[in-house]
Structure 1
Amino acid sequence: MRIGYLETFCQVVEEGNISKVAKNNFITQPAITKQIRQLETLYGTQLFERNNGNLVVTTTGKRLYEIAKQLVFDYNQSFAMIDQVKGIESSSLKIGASFTIAEYILPHVLGEFKKIHSNIDITLEVSSTPNILHRLRENKIGMALVEGEVYTDEDLIVNKFAEDELVLVCSPDHRTFALSQSVRVEDLSHEKFIWREENSGTRLLVEKMLGENWSDIINIYMELGSTQAIKGAVEINLGVAILSSLVIDTELKQNMLKKINIENVELKRDLWAVQRKERFVNKLEGEFIKFIKNYQF
């Protein structure tokens, strides 16, 4: 049996679609099917079944997947480790980042890093913090750069690389806040909040800081899928929002948004660089982690 067969099997489990895996690997669909059948013959069990036209992994297939993905991971790690011992440096950096970090921090950081390592290839995946951490645990990326809550466990190495402040913003034409520099928490209950989706790092952190009664304070008027959309909605006075200070610098300078302090409330969060403990960290990844920790934001 070839390790490539197990890798193909894992991809089919993850994608749930043989034709997509074939397309991603530039091989034919029958070739994928043949590899799966050879594995089924080797293990003497059915790994997939068809259910109303959908490909469904069997119970034995699920158990094999848990072992196979680790075998494939260790196999690929062995090459990375030996290459480094031989003095062959990796030229590929695979990073996952949450939306705010990807949009407002990494363009500058990666640009500066590329000036030092001009011949490297950088792949960046962008999603919510939970999705990016899932991709890290599935070995699809080498490191995760995320904000908000990161629940450490035995599998992860978590390092703080920067700090961010969350601030309340409104339109300069806001009916009550336009002439204010600060407001009380109880004043917020009368406002229409423009908010991100439920699993966004910013939203989870604010809900935690405001406590279990946050829903009595925050009146969710609108949920939007991007920070840029939220800024636009606040600018035209549809409501107020709590946003990262990293994303509103231009709007504040151009008087498109107004920052309001919340009395006796400090909304700060750490930005995290996360890696898997058991994963071999190549020299390039190690240099990037050191670079971003020392970067002047």
Structure 2
Amino acid sequence: MNIESLQMFCLVLDEGSISQAARLSYVSQPAVTRQIHQLENDYGALLFDRTDGAMKVTEAGKALYPFAKAIVRDYRNSKEAVKQAVGDYNKNLVVGASFTIGEYLLPSLLGRFKKKWPELNVTLMIKNTPGILEDLTNDVIDMALVEGLVDKQAFLVEKFADDDLILVCAPNHEWGDEVQIEDIVDEQMIWREADSGTRQIVKNSLEQFHILEKIESYMELGSTQAIKSAVSAGLGIAILPRIAVAAELRVGLLREVTITDMKIIRNLWLVRKNQRFHKNSVTQFLDFIRI
């Protein structure tokens, strides 16, 4: 038996499928299956029932799960304690960020942080909000900076900044400087992907005005940069973070239009796990970003 097999067992149970566990671990499904079979051989019991084409955890698997979680957690804590004792542990900082924050806010922020602490090795990982929170759960990153919705019961969550979401259109669009909320129904809305934190916030705001269900013409693109290019080319309109379109507004590639009686302000969240041991580099970054 090894820790990796226990970690994989817990991940399969948490995610509900071998395929999802394999995807999150960047390994093949047969590799996950081999680790599960190894555990079953070690314990002499089936941990999952694979009959009828479905995979269900057995009573033996249910009994093992809390012990496996505790072993994995203690192993991670022991590694952190040893690394802190050695000293190299505190020289590394891995920050995870959702796309908008990672691409438009953090580069300059981390640049200033590195000038203050040049001895630290800083790594930035960028994904959508659910992906970053998965990495935080699995200890791939030290902290997360996201703009989407976060389960405050599962993590330590604090606001570190805010940003407003604004309506933008092409420079030659027929709109003036201000429109009514109903006017956007007749336009093609350009969205980010379905699990984007920004998209969820915009949708929640439009639902309050009973407009969301009236928007029939839309396009979905996988990045903010692609959306900005499409809007600038006159392919539609979009509601995007101000920090993401500041440069385009400044040079006239996009134009901001005010929506009467509607303003979308979103919080930007700093998210951490509640851990026993904390890196000095994490504390240094927290003190820096809170100033």
TM-score normalised by the chain length of structure 2: 0.81
CA deviation after TM superposition for structure 1 residue 211, in Å: 2.5
Q: Mapping of 1:9-88 within 5 angstroms?
A: 14-15=21-22, 20=27, 39-47=39-47, 59=58, 60-61=60-61, 64=64, 67-81=67-81, 83-84=83-84
Give the whole-Å Cα distance in 1 for the aligned partners of 2:67 and 2:165.
42
Counterpart of 1:164 in 2: which secondary structure? strand
**CA distance in structure 1 between the aligned counterparts of 2:116 and 2:25, rounded to whole angstroms:** 41
Q: Distance in 1 between matches of 2:121 and 2:71?
A: 26
After superposition, the C-alpha distances for 1:242-261 in whole angstroms (9 at most, x for unaligned) are 01000111111111100111
Contact conserved, 2:166 with 2:240, CA < 8 A, in 1? yes
3-state SS in 2 of match to 1:203: helix
Give CA deviations for 1:160-191 in whole Å, capped at 9, x if unaligned.
111101000001111x21xx111111121111
Distance 1:233 1:207 in 2: 20
Contact 2:136 2:142 in 1 (8 A): yes
Q: Secondary structure at the match of 1:237?
A: coil
1:260 maps to: 257
The corresponding residue for 1:171 is 170
Unaligned 5+ segments in structure 2 are 13-17
Select the residue among 192, 200, 203 that pairs with 2:188: 192
Q: 1:44 to 1:16 in 2, by over 3 A?
A: farther
Q: Does residue 1:228 correspond to 2:261, yes or no?
A: no
**1:81·1:282 contact (CA, 8 Å) conserved in 2?**
no
Instruction: Provide the alpha-carbon RMSD of the alignment.
Output: 3.4
- Per the alignment, residue 202 of structure 1 pairs with 198
Does 2:278 correspond to 1:281? yes
Structure 2 CA distance, aligned partners of 1:81 and 1:104? 34
Higher helix share: 2
TM-score, with structure 1 as normaliser: 0.80
Q: Which amino acid aligns with 1:162?
A: A
AA partner of residue 133 (structure 1): L
The alpha-carbon distance between structure 1 residues 95 and 188, as it changes in their structure 2 partners (threshold 3 A), is same
The reply to whether residue 140 of structure 1 matches residue 143 of structure 2 is no
Equivalent AA in structure 1 for residue 45 of structure 2: T
Aligned counterpart, 2:98: 98
The AA in structure 1 aligned to 2:114 is: K
Report the CA distance between 1:16 and its aligned residue.
7.2
- Deviation track 1:130-164 (CA, whole Å, cap 9, x = no partner) reads 222233223332211100322311x3111111110
- The whole-number CA distance in structure 2 between the counterparts of 1:285 and 1:160 is 16
1:112 CA drift (Å)? 2.1
Give the deviation of 1:203 after TM superposition: 1.4
Distance verdict in 2 for CA 1:99–1:78, change over 3 Å: same
C-alpha contact 1:168 1:260 (8 A) present in aligned 2: yes
Q: Give the corresponding residue for 1:160.
A: 159
When residues 272 and 64 of structure 1 are mapped into structure 2, their CA distance, relative to the original with a 3 A threshold, is: same
Once the two structures are superposed, what CA deviation does each residue of 1:4-54 show, in whole Å capped at 9, x if it has no partner?
A: 653566678632799937xxxxxxx8xx95x76664343121347889xx9
Q: Tell me, what secondary structure is at the counterpart of 1:238?
A: coil
Q: Distance in 1 between matches of 2:194 and 2:268?
A: 19
Cα distance in 2 for partners of 1:266, 1:277 equals: 34
* Unaligned 5+ runs, structure 1: 22-28
In structure 2, distance between residues paired with 1:19 and 1:157: 27
Aligned residues: 281
Distance 1:19 1:288 in 2: 29
AA in 1 matched with 2:22:
E
Tell me what 1:292 maps to: 289
Give the Cα–Cα distance (whole angstroms) in 1 for the partners of residues 199 and 170 of structure 2.
20
